Structure 1
Amino acid sequence: MLLYDHPLSSYAQKVKIALREKGVPFVAELPEGFGTGQGDGPFAAANPRTEVPVLIDGDATIFDSTVILEYIEERWPEPPLLPHDPAARAFARMTEDVCDTQYEAVNWGFGEMLWFHRATGDLARHLREQAAAQTRLLQDWLARRLGTEDWFGGTGFGWADTAVAPMVNRSVHYGLGPEPGTALARWHARVSRRPSVAATFAEFDAAAAQMAAAADLYTTGGRRREYRDHRLEWMIRSGGIDVVRDGLRDDTIRFSWPGSA
């Protein structure tokens, strides 16, 4: 089984956590041409959006991290990640959706400043402050959903924990983690000790350590960062419309498939 992956991708991380929880062996591979948006080759054939993750299981090729999670849950139902109760399942899916949209966009935006230096001076400071404030709001929301439980699914690790873990861990890496001693901070420490998560986080840490060397590829046009949906919304609403204009001018950003004719 092949997983097209980038260790920094929060979407790919949640898929790897799910596979590891279920004991499913896989080979993770960084696709050739990743980050260029090129429309040919096996990666583009597997996913025209040229986004990770993509899971190839025999004749089945699946993209979009949520669809992949659903496939994994149906293909290998034990141990289950989704609870049996319909309301609890909806709770888990809503938690995942907010993480995949609003939370991922905030993390991504902060990374644009930290790793790719999309802005400098006052604008960079403003965008970092916006990301920090929004991270606190998102973590407060997650803390309320966690409540007094050990896991987002209640007594056992589950679907929502799989989705939340990469998002909160990236915030911790950025220095924007939950306040020490809070329930969400204790949850992060707990989830980080889980073998499936620990292995995935170790891969993230190793890749993050290389980002300074790779950043030039994204600022010179060798690779182009994808400004899509919630990411683009975040950058504009947070005051970074000049970042978008500069990226279009310098051809260092791209939008999702299908591109302009």
Structure 2
Amino acid sequence: MVSAASRRSLMTLFAGTDCPHSHRIRMVIAEKGIDSLDTVEIRPGETSEDLIDLNPYNTVPTLVDRDLVMYDPRIIMEYLDERFPHPPLMPVDPVMRARYRLAMFRMEQDIYGLIDDLHGTPAQVRKARTRLREILTTLAADFSARPFMGEEFSLVDCTFAPILWRLDHYGVELPPKQGKRLGDYARRLFGRAAFRASLTEQEAAMRSG
């Protein structure tokens, strides 16, 4: 049983130790250099009485800031980006912001929507692996020498990086050409100091690179 009774700050993050949704929140925290935040790590199979009381869905990530409780990853990411504005992780232009939000929405629907099945029955896993491979193979066509998904490092990259980090863990292998394109992009993300800082012990063990 995990408890946050001893938390020291007004802001607390409940996060899964191997959860890709929690991982992208930790990436934002690391990129922003936020240190006025306590993290309650919840391992698979653990429960938290505090989380049950705060979040009707009992899910991670959940962010608590004073009397505000948030439990949708995109809402948490954008809230942190606005609450701690430097460095900015979303463009100022409203049209570009809308495009970035659409990109994150599609990743959640098309990619993150497969996560449960990747931990399901053998038949579900096979189907989810095939679908994820198809999606990433198509997505790789948009990659070139660009260092990031957009003009600058953003919440879109924070959303995509945890999935790319877990591809070997999920047993997903891309065709050589597309794999190289996404691999080059992934290595740029993984090389960021903030990305390394965002990894839990469980996540670091998912791959050696």
TM-score computed with the length of structure 1 as normaliser: 0.65
Residue 43 of structure 1 aligns to which amino acid in structure 2? L
Corresponding residue to 1:129 among 126, 129, 135: 126
Residue 80 (structure 2) pairs with residue 72 (structure 1): yes
1:11 deviates by 1.0
Does the aligned pair in 2 maintain the 1:178–1:185 contact within 8 Å?
A: no
Which digits, 9 at most, give the CA deviation of each residue in 1:122-166, with x for residues without a partner?
A: xx2x43432222112221343244444110012x21111000011
Corresponding residue to 1:8 among 5, 18, 42: 18
Corresponding residue to 1:27 among 38, 41, 59: 38
Corresponding residue to 2:169 among 161, 170, 173: 173
Whole-angstrom CA distance in 1 between matches of 2:44 and 2:167: 28
1:101 deviates by 2.4
Residue 104 (structure 2) pairs with residue 106 (structure 1): no
1:198 deviates by 1.7
The Cα RMSD (Å) is: 2.6
Equivalent pairs: percent with the same residue?
26
Aligned length: 194
| SS of equivalent residue, structure 1 residue 30 | strand
Which digits, 9 at most, give the CA deviation of each residue in 1:98-132, with x for residues without a partner?
A: 222221232331222xxxxx3xxxxx2x4343222
Whole-angstrom CA distance in 1 between matches of 2:79 and 2:118: 31
Corresponding residue to 2:158 among 159, 162, 168: 162
1:179 deviates by 4.4
Match of 2:187 in 1: 189
Does the aligned pair in 1 maintain the 2:137–2:175 contact within 8 Å?
A: no
TM-score computed with the length of structure 2 as normaliser: 0.80
Gaps of 5+ in 1: 113-117, 119-123, 210-261
Would the alpha carbon gap of residues 159 and 131 (structure 1) be closer, same or farther in structure 2, given more than 3 Å must change?
same
1:44 deviates by 1.8
Gaps of 5+ in 2: 1-10
Q: Which has the larger radius of gyration?
A: 1
Whole-angstrom CA distance in 2 between matches of 1:22 and 1:173: 28
Whole-angstrom CA distance in 2 between matches of 1:151 and 1:138: 18
